[in-house]
């Protein structure tokens, strides 16, 4: 077929139109994501079964920003994340959760550890934010006694720790904020360098969930434990807790570790030759163990 000048002009115009359209499509696929950076101090390695996951809240709904881990030195596996640009522009809040790994649930878990409101692309991240624990634990106080009520009076009395105040009826020895779902308190005695759990609990008034080492008699209705039997490998019970350490930690729930989690709001150094049945105090340690961080959109 003979190509006339008119046909040739139409062909050239068609090619140019198609090329421009393709380039426009390519441009449309670019620049649809934006990046932000996380800088966080105080997190710890969660092991192989759990990981950290970030979320931005857009129009009240959580949208994942990606998963990362923490190494033994506290470093993030990555601190730069790419997300939908419109979502990032409209995000009101950043939340950090702890998630199972692998995780088949697209929704965030109930274990929220850090949160912060985003203003002009920046957020300060704290555990006290309403989307995290909702408390910085700085107001927590604690007292305890050494006693072994589960084997009777005057028997190995410095081999047990109970968070109660004998002068108050007895009454609670701990003053702690209520934790949200996904978190629980746990007591510990550090014995010859080994942390041994006294059990988990949600309220300072009421028994904890464990009596693994106690005697056969009933214990008081407060968190605590007698270390009288079933000693872990490497330890011997009964044991004198003098010059040891007692700790109240905040643990993720569920918890995959037998060791205390990084949040340790109360720590008490048991005095040498500590008197039994006498009220002993704990120090607030929250400022030393609370993780903090920042979120910043890359400009």
Reported as a single tens digit per residue, the pLDDT across 192-245 is 999 999 999 999 999 999 999 999 999 999 999 999 999 999 999 999 999 999
Q: Looking at the structure, do residues 174 and 279 belong to the same domain, yes or no?
A: yes
For Cα atoms 86, 92, 98, give the angle at the middle one, nearest 5 degrees. 100
User: What pLDDT is recorded for position 31?
Assistant: 65
> For the chain, how many structural domains are there in total?
2
Q: Looking at the structure, do residues 105 and 164 belong to the same domain, yes or no?
A: no
Q: Looking at the structure, do residues 217 and 103 belong to the same domain, yes or no?
A: no
Are β-strands 141-146 and 174-175 bridged in parallel, bridged antiparallel, or unpaired?
antiparallel
What's the whole-model pTM score? 0.89
Q: Among 71, 102, 134, which residue terminates a domain? A: 134
Domain of 264 in residue numbering reads as 141-287
Q: What is the 3-state secondary structure (H, E, C) of 70-132?
A: ECCCCCECCCEEEEEHHHHHHEEEEEEEEEECCCCCCCCCCCEEEEEECECCEEEEECCCCCC
Q: Looking at the structure, do residues 146 and 103 belong to the same domain, yes or no?
A: no
Q: Is residue 47 part of a domain?
A: yes
What band does 4 get if pLDDT is binned at 50, 70 and 90? Answer: very low
Q: Looking at the structure, do residues 84 and 125 belong to the same domain, yes or no?
A: yes
Q: Is residue 299 part of a domain?
A: no
Q: Is residue 177 part of a domain?
A: yes
Strand, helix or coil for residue 14: helix
Q: Which of 162, 171, 131, 151 is nearest to 238 (CA)?
A: 151
């Amino acid at each position: 077929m003979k190509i006339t000048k008119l046909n040739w002009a139409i062909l050239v115009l068609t090619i140019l139109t198609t090329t421009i359209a393709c380039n426009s499509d390519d441009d449309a696929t670019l620049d649809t994501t934006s990046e932000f950076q996380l800088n966080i101090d105080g997190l710890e390695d969660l092991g192989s079964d759990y990981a950290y996951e970030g979320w931005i809240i857009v129009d009240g709904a959580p949208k994942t920003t990606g998963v990362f881990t923490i190494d033994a030195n506290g470093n993030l596996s990555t601190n730069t994340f790419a997300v939908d640009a419109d979502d990032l522009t409209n995000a009101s809040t950043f939340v950090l959760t702890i998630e199972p790994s692998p995780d088949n649930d697209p929704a965030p878990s109930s274990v929220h550890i850090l949160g912060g409101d985003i203003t002009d692309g920046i957020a300060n991240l704290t555990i006290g934010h309403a989307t995290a624990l909702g408390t910085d634990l700085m107001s927590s106080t604690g007292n305890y006694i050494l006693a072994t009520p589960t084997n009777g009076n005057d028997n190995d009395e410095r081999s047990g720790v109970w968070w109660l105040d004998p002068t108050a009826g007895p009454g609670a020895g701990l003053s702690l904020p209520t934790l949200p779902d996904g978190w629980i308190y746990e007591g510990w005695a550090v014995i010859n360098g080994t942390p041994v759990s006294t059990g988990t609990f949600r309220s300072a008034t009421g028994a904890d969930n464990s009596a693994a080492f106690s005697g056969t008699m009933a214990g008081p209705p407060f968190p605590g434990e007698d270390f009288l039997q079933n000693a872990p490998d490497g330890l011997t019970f009964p044991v004198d807790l003098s010059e040891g350490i007692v700790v109240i930690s905040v643990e993720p729930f569920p918890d995959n570790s037998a060791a205390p989690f990084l949040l340790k709001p109360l720590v008490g150094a048991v005095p040498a030759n500590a008197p039994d049945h006498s009220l002993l105090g704990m120090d607030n340690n929250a400022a030393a163990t609370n993780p903090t961080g920042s979120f910043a959109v890359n400009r």
